[in-house]
Structure 1
Amino acid sequence: MEFSEELKTLKDQVRFDGSFRTGTFSNIVIAGMGGSGIAGRIFSEMYSAKPVFVCDDYHIPEFVDGNTEFIAVSYSGNTEETLSAAEEAIKKGAKVHAITSGGRLSEMGVDTIKIPGGLQPRSAVGYLTMPIINTFIRPKHEDIEEAAGLLSDLDKNNTVQENIATEIYAGRRIPVIYGSTPYRSVAYRWKTQFNENAKILAYSNYFSELNHNDTMPLRDTYRKDEFYFMAFDSTDERIRKRIEVTQKITGTSFKKIEARGSSLIARIFYLIHFGDYVTYHLARIRNVDPQDVSAIEDLKKRIS
């Protein structure tokens, strides 16, 4: 499947209605790496009723026990770190679930949601995230349809995203993406999409944390014109003020990216898809294959 066609599946992915059965629990731990791991990061910003820990390592926290809902997310089902974490969770007696398209994870004998294969893991963000959202948040049907509609609109017209990609390419600039709650994970998603799709370095941070560190180099660093700064707009007036004041005192201009939609799930997936198209167009302009992850696959083979 062409990468542009992969992107167009997201509007259908957000309608995926898979979910897990859960009982009483004290905390949620979500294990995943790379394009699969973003699911836990996104969910952790949407949900605050119980503690959520995102695990992107071989090992899991000491607190994991029988009161933990543990979700292993691996699109391939063969991610080394995630398999290790899931094995530890089983030994600790956690309630272990899995989201995968197959592989060893699907053979571990845990409560598993099987999702369609044939995509790049990062292109399956809806399939990987929605089961967790459906289980613990249970979004309204109209919110899901709003998200799907906005994604469909982006599929039909992504000229704005192409123009941003063109600006980045014209100046050979390094993207810097600034988010804020509940879009910190989305800013990180953009960073990783620039890495894997467009094959360029990128950087992400978030307000207001960045006002305690990034503010100084924004004012005083050398060769600042080599960076392309973007900031997600916020409905929090305190954050909006920070964005404006940060630009003024550092002499830095941010490209404002506005989230669309009335529901949180629609705004989050709209921003995710916005970044998908910026990075896709940059890959196309650079004449690189957005699906190529050969260096990552080579690394996995060498360490296996």
Structure 2
Amino acid sequence: LGRDLKVPIIVQREPSLSGYVNSKTLFVAISYSGDTSETLTAFRGAESRHASLVGVGTGGKLASLCERFRAPFLRVGSSIAPRAALSQLIVALAAVLESYNLVRSTYGDIAEAGRELAKLRSRIGSGIPVERNPAKRLASEILGHFLVVYSLQRMSSVARRFKNQLAENCKQVAKFDLLPESCHNEIEAWKTYPSHSLPLILRDTEESTFERSSIEAFRYTISRQTKARPIMFRLAMKGRLSRLVGPIFFLDYVSVYLALLMRINPTPTESIAKYKALLKAN
């Protein structure tokens, strides 16, 4: 959607707002549960600055605030976990931007992505054996490693999502960073990275000559400094939306298969529940 927008779109992850949020700002609060504390705090702050408000979620306090502030609330369906509702949240955000005439119709992109994801699922689903399942093979390849994920800025949502899925599904810490930024700093640290560290570089199907050269130089340099050979991951998808949601979908499967290889139940998130309980108590 970024290419179609004529105004900046910024992801707000903190409760405190930047000074530019004002009456000309469209503030879209997205919280699956509707009770994410930092989202609610930022939403109240945006209302105090007279921003245009929209809420997206399953209900909770966010829905109540939208009713109180007379702001529209887009309700998404319940899922087994917040991380499983990503597709609904993407569609809801697209609908909001369309309703404010900020982007063209996204129906074609969403429909195309749906068709491509269905084809992808037929290749990586649980019933497909390891020898014909690239997601299962990748899970086996990264088993036992500390994963360091790199991507270009436009693919950073995929890298962040994979890092988070490894944490929630596999209960495993990973990290991600950006290229070519890491070529100017973190590349030096691979001389002393722990031996079980494994770099995974997320590639885009459309890269400039400079981007390709930068990534290859980074891969070559760190491969000479670590015993682990960097994994280059690229998933061929056609549409602009598919180029993001396709790799996310694929790597979601990888995280679940990795959890199963580790004999971990990927569903419960007990530490997150404990954190929220402590936060609420305080």
TM-score under structure 1 normalisation?
0.80
Q: CA deviation at 1:139?
A: 4.8
Q: 1:221 aligns with which of 180, 186, 192?
A: 192
Partner Cα separation in structure 2 for residue 117 and residue 192 of structure 1: 20
Moved over 4 A (4+): 45-48
Give the secondary-structure state (helix, strand or coil) at the position aligned to 1:97. Answer: strand
- The reply to whether residue 96 of structure 1 matches residue 62 of structure 2 is no
Structure 1 residues 172-210: Cα deviation after superposition (integer angstroms, max 9, x where no partner): 101111111310121111111111111101110111111
User: Percent identity among equivalent residues?
Assistant: 26
Partner Cα separation in structure 2 for residue 276 and residue 47 of structure 1: 27
Q: Which residue of 1 aligns with 2:275?
A: 299
| One-letter amino acid matched to 1:115 | V
Asked whether the 8 Å contact 1:146–1:261 carries over to 2, the reply is no
Q: Which residue of 1 aligns with 2:29?
A: 72
TM-score under structure 2 normalisation?
0.85
Larger Rg: 2
Q: CA RMSD in A?
A: 1.7
- The reply to whether residue 201 of structure 1 matches residue 173 of structure 2 is yes
Which of 130-139 and 203-212 deviates more? Answer: 130-139
Q: 2:238 aligns with which of 262, 268, 279?
A: 262
Q: Which residue of 2 aligns with 1:153?
A: 119
Q: Which residue of 2 aligns with 1:184?
A: 156
Q: Which residue of 1 aligns with 2:129?
A: none
Aligned length in residues:
257
Q: CA deviation at 1:143?
A: 2.6
Give the secondary-structure state (helix, strand or coil) at the position aligned to 1:55. Answer: coil
| Structure 2 residues without counterparts, runs of 5 or longer | 125-132
Q: Which residue of 2 aligns with 1:272?
A: 248
Partner Cα separation in structure 1 for residue 105 and residue 238 of structure 2: 13
Q: 1:240 aligns with which of 204, 212, 236?
A: 212
Q: Which residue of 1 aligns with 2:130?
A: none
Structure 1 residues 60-115: Cα deviation after superposition (integer angstroms, max 9, x where no partner): 12221110000100000011111111111111111010101111111112211000
Asked whether the 8 Å contact 2:25–2:52 carries over to 1, the reply is yes
Structure 1 residues 148-185: Cα deviation after superposition (integer angstroms, max 9, x where no partner): 1221123222221111111222xx10111111131012
Partner Cα separation in structure 2 for residue 239 and residue 119 of structure 1: 38
Give the secondary-structure state (helix, strand or coil) at the position aligned to 1:123. Answer: helix
